[in-house]
Structure 1
Amino acid sequence: MSVHRLTLGDVLGEHRRGRPLGTAVVDGDVRLTYPELDDRVGRLAGALAADGVGAGARVLWLGQNSFRVLEMLLACGRLGAIFCPANWRQSPDELAHVLDDLAPAVVVWEESEAVEKARGQVSLDARWVASGEEYEAYVRAALPAPETEVPADSPVLALYTAAFDGRPNAALLSHSALIAHSMALLHVRQMEDGFTFLACGPLFHVGTMMFTLATFQIGGTLVFTPAYEPAEVCRLIEAERCTQAFLFGPMIDGLVEANKDRAHDLSSLRFVSHSPEWDKMITVDDSPWCASRMGGYGQTEVGGMLTFLGLGMGGAGYAGRSSPLVHVRLLDAEGNEVGPGEVGEICARGLSLFSGYWNRPELNEAKTAGGWHHTGDLGRREPDGTITFIGPRLRMIKSANENIYPAEVERALKSHPAIADAAVIGVPDDRFGQSPKAVVVLAEGASATAEEIIEHVRGEIASYKKPRHVEFAESIPKKGYTPDYDALDERYGGGAYPGA
């Protein structure tokens, strides 16, 4: 065993010894110290191993936020397996794709109609464990798994993202990549002993997961709530004296409204300035992360953040400078670095980068051409060395902090029997930044209303991805085989893309 090894399991073992009285997780009535969490992780690893989970095997979580997400990740890490918390809001078709693609050995799930339908669509030899009492019995009945040597560079976390071709891909992140990213985030956020994070954003999203793991890394307290609900979030912030939470604009506005009578003391929350009402409720934080308004550039494939505005405040580039544990190059189509002021693809390598996508050898080869991870996004190095994010090479819509890929929505649109062709653009939205607009061409002799089309898409993919507007056209302008999105934007009011 290498003396240089450090895995998530090693971090948990160190907290067991160094923080025997420290609260690790809070979730409803569940409160676990680090030794208690370690005991559960050991038994869960034993249960998973008894069901054939070993090195490289996959375990899937289909449910809302729970402390079980963390302990499942840690248990998989102990076995050299890969854990995936998937988006529980997806349609049956999308969930079936995840089940078929990932081929998990064990699925832990919260019962829902969508999961039941997805389960019926695939042939999968897996152990299914219902979250709740069945899961608890599953853990209680097991013997702790023996210690095994797990390489720190082995993948441990899979997060579905990057629906380049209409279907998402599972980005694989290793122990060492997650630990490296946590250390960079700890530095920029200036996280200190006693840090308490409220995981009120989805744990299948890297934004919530990266703060969960950074809090775990420093031995802080993690507070879980199933989903964002303003009144409950206010209550938990006060009750658990939370330092940080996963929040952005509309969520913050919801908390201000829910706490307008000041029923809850939110002063423990050290967070970003947002509005006069919000700033009076919390403690406005002066760390580089919060003072820069959580700015920077990132994606799931880099563990969360590749650059931090907090490392380049006052600079010309509003994505700041690269994380201390990576390096970034702006490359042209031939793989040559472009000069300051010129636009190139943001490419990177370093300690926090992912290990490729699950079961995508051709895509992985293309994304790592020349020994660099090609993000698929464009940027510019300013004369002062800071970086400006320009926008995706493959166009993406950003709606309320969710990434929506036109190809994915277009695939759902084209499955409607009345639609012959379709394209999706993003249009400005006062509340969400952007919202999807569909431009559709009906098949000859067919008819469909905008409402029918929107409802059809809602049934095919997650509801937040459905178009909010539909335009009917005679044809879709093309550049080669792909839609001419610039022409569509000009004609149908597209705009407000990330980086614009």
Structure 2
Amino acid sequence: MSTVHRLTLADILAEHSRSRPLITAVVDGDVRLDYPRLEERVARLAGALAAEGVGAGDRVLWLGQNSHRVLELLLAAGRLGAILCPANWRQSPDELAFVLSDLSPKVVVWERSEAVEAVRSRAAEAVGSGGARWVLSGDEYEEFLAGGPVEPDGFVDDTAPVLALYTAAFDGRPNAALLSHQALVAHSASLLHVRQIEPGFTFLNSGPLFHVGTMMFCLATLLAGGTNVFTPAFDAEEVCRLIDAERCTQAFLFGQMIDAVVAANAGGKYDLKSLGFISHSEEWDSMITVSDTPWCRSKMGGYGQTEVAGMLTFLGLAPGAAGFAGRPSPLVQVRLLDASGEEVPSGEAGEICARGKSIFSGYFNRPELNVKKFRGGWHHTGDLGRREPDGTITFIGPRLRMIKSGNENVYPAEVERVLKTHPAVADAAVIGVPDDQWGQSVKAVVVLRPDAVADAEALVGHVRGLLASYKKPKHVEFAESIPKKGFTPDYDALDERYGGGGYPGA
């Protein structure tokens, strides 16, 4: 099979080792590797993994904090056609045991932590009778890598999965979204365009690498031939030091993290002017260089999820847009579809569906779920959006269920979003209740802010003023709290407590 059109992550590294031999690829504590040295280590690591039986489609698991070893393992796995999963090391032993059982990795590279130590003690049972080779990060990892023969460049299809990230716990357990070389390169290219990444770009990996938000910038930096700086976990003082010492131009920072950095740099101990970032506060803006790139000017706005390799739409591609999710990446298509797979008119809520170069390859070992997610030739995100008159997209919220009132579809997430814009509302959830006339009617369960006052009539009027009249609640119940599953309402519990039911298809 020809490789003439192939471009894998390992191919990108190989090219950089020739065209950027003097550029530092990674910085991690005392470790500094230029691109040729990184490629040499990756080739040996691939040989060591191959000696453990790792081949096409096999999984390698990383259980630890941020490290340059995550990038090395990803590139080495990609050289073999294998898949790296950097898992959330902060999970409980039971959750980690599930990941081990689900993935059945050939090799686990790990760092010491209470949860990882606990699950390692029962690893033989968790990964099945075949077991896995466990390699402790640090000296043991270095010995493992050094002992590997240089793995020659073989054929790897760039549409093959190379990265697995756990997400989408639809049924209470997460699923590993598989991202191919092609998807990651395509997304990185879009990010290069919107962030306007130029030579000398240096990214501080200050967020977790098991999160697509950090990983997407790590890989965009790789594609651009820039420098990835790693810190094990977010520490405001250390972030300041690294930005100053390494002249970082981008970092994984938001909200409270930015505030913590401002506090850590009170008095201007560190020079943060190399950081081109979003405007946030007067103190922050005075410390950094406020960037005018589309990505930063739009305050990193858009819509994304793990399954699309990061961002599907960018507000930076739509200055002045009506829709606060912006426009799609140049390498994807987006449609807003109804339950039958038909595109809804502009202004109507529909499921955000996509196809294109940066879409994931499905979930590992979830054939039935993949059929559902890819029905009709589109990736069904499970989220609701609306196409605005200018063609841009507004993200509404997760599509957890649908209420059928008369012949009209009502999506709880849309009504909840509007309820939460009322100044008296702290939280809200919407369910459907049986209705003799309409099949179902809308009931809102509302938590008011402390000392706030609002009655049912005021809340119904608020929704009616912002949405079509048939979407307004017919009933309002006030509660002390909303039961949750993770970050989303527990709709089953709400139905049981407040008389929900009669959903279409039930």
Both structures adopt the same fold (TM-score exceeding 0.5): yes
How far the C-alpha of 1:303 sits from its partner, in A, is 0.5
SS at match of 1:330: strand
- Aligned CA distance change for structure 1 residues 261 and 3 (closer, same or farther; 3 Å): same
1:143 offset after TM fit, Å? 1.1
Unaligned runs of 5+ in 2: 402-412, 418-444, 451-479
Q: CA deviation at 1:261?
A: 1.3
> Where does 1:328-477 land on structure 2 (aligned, <5 Å)?
328-394=334-400, 439=483, 476-477=497-498
Distance 2:292 2:372 in 1: 41
What is the CA–CA distance in structure 1 between the aligned matches of 2:182 and 2:302, rounded to whole Å? 22
Aligned in 2, Cα 1:437/1:263: closer, same or farther, shift over 3 Å?
farther
Q: Please tell me the residue identity of whatever aligns with 1:319.
A: A
Counterpart Cα distance in 2 of 1:162 and 1:126: 26
Counterpart position of 2:3: 2
106 and 291 in structure 1: CA distance in 2 versus 1, 3 angstrom threshold: same
CA contact (8 A) 2:447 2:482 kept: no
Correspondence for 1:410: none
2:347 is aligned with 1:326 = no
Give the equivalent residue in structure 2 for 1:286: 292
Partner of 1:78: 79
Q: Which letter maps to 1:393?
A: R
Deviation of residue 466 (structure 1)?
Answer: 9.2
How many angstroms does 1:112 deviate by?
A: 1.7
Equivalents in 2 of 1:428, 1:37: separation in Å? 55
Map residues 147-226 of structure 1 onto 2, 5 A cutoff.
Answer: 147-226=153-232
Deviation readout 1:259-306 (Å, 9 max, x if unpaired): 011100000000000000000000000000000000000000000000
1: CA distance, partners of 2:248 / 2:271: 11
Choose the corresponding residue for 1:244, options 228, 241, 250.
250
Structure-2 separation of matches of 1:109 and 1:252: 30
User: What's the offset of the Cα at 1:338?
Assistant: 0.7
Q: Match for 1:62: what amino acid?
A: L
Check 1:427–1:24 CA distance in 2 against 1; reply closer, same or farther (3 A cut): farther
Pick from 268, 276, 289 the counterpart of residue 270 of structure 1: 276
The answer as to whether partners of 2:163 and 2:179 remain within 8 angstroms in 1 is: yes
Rounded Cα–Cα distance in structure 2 between residues aligned with 1:216 and 1:374 = 29
- Mapped partners of 2:273, 2:49: distance in 1: 41
Counterpart secondary structure, 1:25: strand
Matched residue of 1:142: which SS?
A: coil
**1:308 maps to which residue?**
314
Code of the residue aligned with 1:235 in structure 2: it is R
Instruction: Report if aligned partners of 2:494, 2:500 keep a CA contact under 8 Å in 1.
Output: no
Structure 1 residue 140, shift from structure 2 partner = 1.0
Secondary structure of 1:49 counterpart: helix
User: Aligned-pair RMSD on alpha carbons?
Assistant: 2.5
Q: Tell me how far 1:429 sits from its aligned partner.
A: 10
Distance in 1 (CA, whole Å) between partners of 2:193 and 2:165 is 24
Question: How far off is 1:218 after superposition?
Answer: 0.4
Give 1:479's aligned residue. 500
* 1:477 aligned partner, one-letter code: Y
- Residue 219 and residue 249 in structure 1: after superposition, are their counterparts in 2 closer, same or farther (change >3 A)? same
Measure, in 2, the Cα distance between the counterparts of 1:233 and 1:197: 11
Query: CA, structure 1 residues 297+260, in 2 after alignment: closer, same or farther (shift >3 Å)?
Result: same
Any residues of structure 2 matched to 1:45-64 within 5 Å, and which? 45-64=46-65
Question: Aligned partners of 1:252 and 1:351: how far apart in 2?
Answer: 33
C-alpha deviations, 1:452-483, integer Å up to 9, x for none?
A: xxxxx9xxxxxxx699xxxx99963353499x
Query: Percent of aligned pairs with the same residue?
Result: 69
State the TM-score, normalized to the length of structure 1: 0.81
User: How far apart, in 1, do the equivalents of 2:67 and 2:119 lie?
Assistant: 22
CA separation in 2, counterparts of 1:346 and 1:117?
Answer: 40
SS at 1:192 equivalent: coil
| 1:479 partner letter | G
Question: CA offset at residue 116 of structure 1?
Answer: 2.3
- Aligned partners of 1:24, 1:427: CA distance in 2, in Å? 50
Structure-1 residue corresponding to 2:233: 227
Partner SS state of residue 396, structure 2? strand
Q: Which amino acid aligns with 1:195?
A: F
Distance apart, 1:41 and its partner CA = 0.1
Task: Tell me: CA distance 1:221–1:163, structure 2 relative to 1, closer, same or farther (3 Å).
Answer: same
Q: CA deviation at 1:377?
A: 0.3
Is 1:43 aligned to residue 48 of structure 2?
no
Q: Deviations over 1:49-96 (max 9, x none)?
A: 000000000000000000000000000000000000000110111101
Gaps of 5+ in 1: 399-424, 431-435, 441-456, 458-464, 483-500
Answer yes or no: is the 8 Å Cα contact 2:183–2:360 preserved in 1.
Answer: yes
What secondary structure does 1:16 align onto?
Answer: helix
CA distance in 1, matches of 2:92, 2:350: 36
Kindly indicate whether residue 266 of structure 2 is the aligned counterpart of residue 257 of structure 1: no
**Matched-pair contact (CA < 8 Å) for 2:98–2:126:** no
Greater relative contact order (CA < 8 Å, ≥ 6 in sequence) = 1
Range with bigger deviation, 110-119 or 69-78: 110-119
Q: Distance in 2 between matches of 1:201 and 1:481?
A: 43
Structure 1 residue 20 corresponds to structure 2 residue 21: yes
User: 1:162 is aligned with what amino acid?
Assistant: A
In the TM superposition, what is the alpha-carbon distance from 1:146 to its structure 2 partner?
1.7
Equivalent residue number for residue 65 of structure 1:
66
Q: Measure the CA separation in 2 of the matches of 1:54 and 1:481.
A: 50
* Residue 439 to residue 176, structure 1, CA distance change in 2 (3 Å): closer
Q: How many residues in Structure 1 have an aligned counterpart in Structure 2?
A: 424
Mapped to 2, the partners of 1:136 and 1:79 lie a distance apart of 19
1:383: how far off? 0.5
Residue 192 to residue 143, structure 1, CA distance change in 2 (3 Å): same
Cα distance, 1:106 vs. partner? 0.3
Instruction: Give how far 1:193 is off.
Output: 0.5
* In 1, Cα distance between equivalents of 2:31 and 2:327: 40
CA contact (8 A) 2:301 2:314 kept: yes
Instruction: Tell me, in whole angstroms, the C-alpha distance in 2 between the residues paired with 1:292 and 1:269.
Output: 17
Q: Greater Rg, structure 1 or structure 2? A: 2
